[in-house]
Amino acid sequence: MVVVLTLPGRRTMKASAGAAMIGVYGLTLFCGLASFGHAFNECVERGEEVRILLSEYRRSHSVYPETLNQLRSPIICARISRPTLLTYERTTNGYTLSFHDWFVHHTASEDQSFLAHK
């Protein structure tokens, strides 16, 4: 908005450009929040599917994968800004899976289903 006001030109043109920038920012914010909400809800609904895929991968390869991309399955919890909301970390004896929003943190491991923590 400040850049628009410093450009030479008519006030109506500046006001129109400023309003357009505010509109684009609002639309971007709305789309980002919608993408996050969709990804979070998908994690809540389908998080256990990832645990099953990890278990099947371990049965066939004798180890857990380094990354979720090795599962050769569409990654759930996808969003616009980043590949997935789901965080995976392989540990010495298994793995940890997690995802969170601003209030609740969901975690799971090879021997425990997703639990919500505040």
Q: Does the pLDDT of residue 117 top 80, yes or no?
A: yes
The identity of residue 21, as a single letter, is: M
Token pair 């609904």 in the structure block, residue: 45
- According to the model, what pLDDT value does residue 85 have? 82
* pLDDT average, residue stretch 99-114: 89
Higher per-residue pLDDT: 75 or 1:
75
Q: Does the pLDDT of residue 92 top 80, yes or no?
A: yes
* pLDDT average, residue stretch 43-56: 88
In order, the DSSP letters of 55-118 are HHHHHHHSS--SSGGGG-SPPSS--SSSS-S-EEEE-SSSEEEEEE-SS-EEEEETTEEEEEE-
Q: Does the pLDDT of residue 10 top 80, yes or no?
A: no
Name the pTM for this structure.
0.71
C-alpha to C-alpha distances, 64 to 76, 86, 93, nearest whole angstrom: 18, 16, 9
Environment class of 29 (CB within 10 Å of its CB; exposed 0-12, middle 13-18, buried 19+) = exposed
CB 53 within 8 A of CB 14: no
Of the chain, the percentage scoring pLDDT greater than 90 comes to 20
Q: Does the pLDDT of residue 36 top 60, yes or no?
A: yes
- According to the model, what pLDDT value does residue 105 have? 92
